Structure 1
């Protein structure tokens, strides 16, 4: 079995950083790179792309809302047209940086509220998918299974890679437990190991209420801003390798 391990990266700003991106880059197979709206800037994007190229890590755009203070986790009153334009702006910026280093953007993974807004509006989800298709029809869209983003991408003729979120709690309905609620973010290393092991063994996760939820996915996500993310990523990779699975960048899973 081949599987991808991805993480959101480049989510600092200026002199500030929130994660050990260099360490994570040695562990993951794909990096979702912030494009300057919710986090990141031109210099961080440049360094992150260069590091990914050197390590053979696949890269994708991680577009968010223009909300540095709220880290892109607050919904905003913006029009569909603005959402399309800011998506194109961010993906295009990363494509330019990648071209400079002889690398290529191969996927798009929405950040936080940007993705939440898309998954709450079928029309918006389709408009965003068509924007991605207009930029590059070979781009793969990352999505949790069963979301509007997944269906919209397929309707727009794009490939979709579904995700299992190793460090976030699930509800029985298959959605994420909202941040701020007890147990929404999973920090315990043993708990993350157990969740990943179960996902790899039988394709399921134990929800916040203790029920079993099937999860159809081929990529595992660990958020870089989760405390201890590097240790979590290493633990996830060790569980993947223990099953005999082959860690593979997202774009190679889609070939």
Structure 2
């Protein structure tokens, strides 16, 4: 099976735009994938993440604090980028099954966070940038300007290869030894790198062809396939 392994940064406007572009390109060049796998748990996304994509999911005190600091339009754009990589594929491949790679993960540490914290944290990052650069937080250009520097200070994530192993188990029943078929897997970019125990290497060892797509600005293109050995 041919697997397009797409790596990006969570909650990134830049990567959100590029992911949609990449998926549309794949639709034109390869057609409909057998499935699309995403780095989320289905119930966790539905019960915890999805409500945080709406301003109404915030605590009332957070809503009141932010309502006079940023325009409704910009707030909605920020809300739309939260966990974008869990659902963007549905706008291009509505009929392809979604594989939730983190279905077996314990999310206890995240569930203890305050309601709406994912959205409010991103809003505050945008507002901090606006204040630093002297940009009106109600400006229509704010998000575009923020995108120019958004990934400059992204830290190096800690890689837990146990998750990569869990993901392969989650994919096991979906992967088929058919070179004519393809699937899409969307994860954090660090999991697409070469390295012992990472998803890219684990899938390659199973004999699948791997194409790597990076959503970050300097590498946002389809690289040469990783042919199985």
TM category, shorter: 0.3 to 0.5
Q: TM-score, normalised by structure 1?
A: 0.30
- In terms of fraction of residues, the more strand-rich structure is 1
Q: Hey, which of these two has a bigger chunk of helix by percent?
A: 2
Bigger Rg, structure 1 or 2: 2
Q: TM-score by structure 2 length?
A: 0.33
